[in-house]
Copies of this chain bind each other. A is one copy, B any other.
Amino acid sequence: MPARCKNCPLRNWPLFDPMTDEEVNFMQQFKTGEMRVDPGTTLMNEGSDSPQRFTTLKGKGLRFKTHETGWRQVISFVLPGEFIGLQGGVMNKMQHLVESGTRMILCVFDRKALWTLFRDHPGRAHDQTWMAALTEHVLGESMAALGQRRGIERISRALTRLYGRGAALGFLNGSKMPLPYQQQDLADALGLSLVRTNKALQPLRDRNIARGYDGQLEILKHAKLREIATLAPSAKPVVRPLI
C-alpha cells in the first residue's frame, strides 16, 4: 500500500522547504500511486510520450543523453527528492533518458493533474518553476566544469558535490556514503574516458583524500579535495521545494 504524503519520509529533511498541512493534502490528490523498479530500468525515454511524472522517494538513478555514434553524456545523478519529467512536454524525438541505478521507489503523478496545479495552486506552480531554475543553475555549473576544468578537477568537484548532496539527504555513515555508480558512469558524466577517470582517481586514493569502492564513496580530506577542485570552501546545498 502506498504511503500517504503525510508520512513522506523525505518531507522533513532540512534540505526541503517545509510544507503546510494544506499543501501536503493538496499534493496527495495528485499522487496516483507508487512505482518500484529494479536497477537498470528506463523511467523516461523521449519524455514527450510519458503520461507520468515522478518524484524519487528512494534509490538512485541517472539522467543522460546518448548519441548514435556511441557516446553517452550523463547529465545528472538522480537522488531522492528529485522531480522527473518536467521536460516531458518539450522534447521531440531527442533522447533524454532517465534510468534507475539501484532499486527505486517513485511517487507517481499524472501529467494532466499537474497542469491543474498551475490553475489551482500558484504557490506550487511557482515551486515548479523555481526548481527548473535551480536545475538550470546546476547545469550551468556542470557546463563550466566540463568546459573549463581538467580531469582531476572535474572528478574532485563531482565527488564533493555528490557527497554534499548525500549528506543533505542523510546518507552519511561516518565518512562514507553509499554510491551505487560505476566508474563508467562517472566518466560519462565528466566527459572523460573510463581509463582516464580511473587514473585520475588513483592519486586521490593513494593520498587518502577520497576513494570510491564497493559501492561506497569515502571522503577523508574534504578541504584538500575542494582545493584540488578549486571550489569555494563551503556552500551548502540550496533548500528547495519538494514537488
Contact = CB atoms under 8 A, between A and B. Distances in A.
Interface of A: 65, 67, 69, 71-73, 75, 86-87, 89-92, 94, 96, 115, 118-119, 122-123, 125-126, 128-130, 132-137, 139-144, 146-148, 188-191, 230, 235, 238
A61 to B, nearest CB: 15
Contacts of A147: 73, 146, 188-191
B90 A134 contact: yes
A238 B92 contact: yes
Contacts of A143: 73, 75, 139, 142-143, 146
Contacts of A67: 144, 148, 230
A132 B90 CA distance: 10
A136 B140 CA distance: 9
Contacts of A73: 140, 143-144, 147-148
Contact of A129 (B132, B191, B235): B132
